[in-house]
Homo-oligomer: A and B are copies of this chain.
């Protein structure tokens, strides 16, 4: 499996620009991590990234994945997704609208919810609390069709 060879072609230029602007290098491990994140349609954990890299014979140390995910978060290239599972998940921002998720309490399946009902409410809360709101986390939990 070729993780690195056609990466320059697939990886969006805006992502590479952000990395260059931040003085980041495009190392082999970093390219492999970026490739996994870009392929993943749902938020993924650090351990899952490392597992996939191992299976693809491009093994990268867990610490390196942690450090890269933290860096990508600082550059706002990935969003953290906290589903209270005991570990964080991350998803690429590039080309995706702000959205939320629903997770099955039975099997853990995650589904994207491509919507956000909170724009007006955010303004109301800013007015009433005098906070300046920077973001929010909204997750739904329930039972998927198979687990009901």
Contacts and interface: CB of A to CB of B under 8 A. Distances in A.
A102 B105 CA distance: 25
Interface string A8-20: 0000000000000
A141 B132 contact: no
Contact of A113 (B125, B138, B143): B125
Interface of A: 80, 82, 84, 88, 102, 104-105, 111, 113, 115, 117-118, 121-122, 125-126, 129-145, 148
Number of copies: 2
Given A80-B84, A82-B84, A138-B136, A145 B117 contact: no
B102 A133 contact: yes
B134 A141 contact: yes
B137 A137 contact: yes
